[in-house]
Amino acid sequence: MQHQIAELAGCSINTVRQALDEAGIQIRTRRPVGHLEKTISRAWLEKEYPHKGRSSPDIARELGVGKNDVMRLVNKWGIPRHPTSQFTNPFASLDTELSPAMHAVSRTKNCVQRLRHLTVTSRHSTLQDAADELSVTWSTLKYQLKRIEETAGFTIIDIRRSRPLTITEDGRRFLDEAMHLLSLLDNRAA
């Protein structure tokens, strides 16, 4: 920034520093080399980044550093990077334990929107009723439900044999967890 000011003002960087000092404006100093490594441990970063699925910008915000600093440590310590097919876990910052099924679903595309659609669907007797409330097609809901169930590894809402829609036992536990997590996210945003 000082370089840009000097260039715009047509003066040297020393002149800019002196002017900032005279004005009582503190110049931000660089952190010493290795500062971040002394601040956090490899075990902590492994827990937060690959296991919880937090993004590097999210971790960086918490630590008050840039995301590139976090990624430098990830690479230096040989911590596995997020696969390109996985998405950041939106629940990681909630500091709550996720079931294995929810952890898997949380790393998929648009998981928050899809979980919201799933919780709305669970309150209706037909996919069409839920689709009408959400202003989407029933085929969209059916597709989203199928993807979530494939990722979770079990049927959540039985749509094949029964009318009205029937929530399975595993599905009830999953939906309860989803509603709890979505509520925590909403409260955090408020």
CATH of domain 92-189: 1.10.10.10
Other C-beta atoms within 10 Å of 135: how many? 6
The pLDDT of residue 30: 64
> Does 85 have pLDDT greater than 90?
no
23-37 residue pLDDT tens: 888 776 666 667 788
**Based on C-alpha coordinates, what's the Rg of the chain?**
24
Closest-CA residue to 106 (of 122, 92, 120, 121): 92
2-58 residue pLDDT tens: 778 888 888 888 888 888 888 888 776 666 667 788 788 889 888 888 777 777 887
User: Is the CB of residue 91 less than 8 Å from the CB of residue 185?
Assistant: yes
Average pLDDT, the chain: 86
User: Structure pTM?
Assistant: 0.61
> Does 102 have pLDDT greater than 90?
yes
The pLDDT of residue 182: 94
User: Is the CB of residue 150 less than 8 Å from the CB of residue 142?
Assistant: no
Q: What is the 3-state secondary structure (H, E, C) of 70-86?
A: HHHHHHHCCCCCCCCCC
The pLDDT of residue 121: 94
User: Is the CB of residue 131 less than 8 Å from the CB of residue 117?
Assistant: no
Q: Where are the domains of the chain?
A: 1-29, 31-82, 92-189
The pLDDT of residue 132: 94
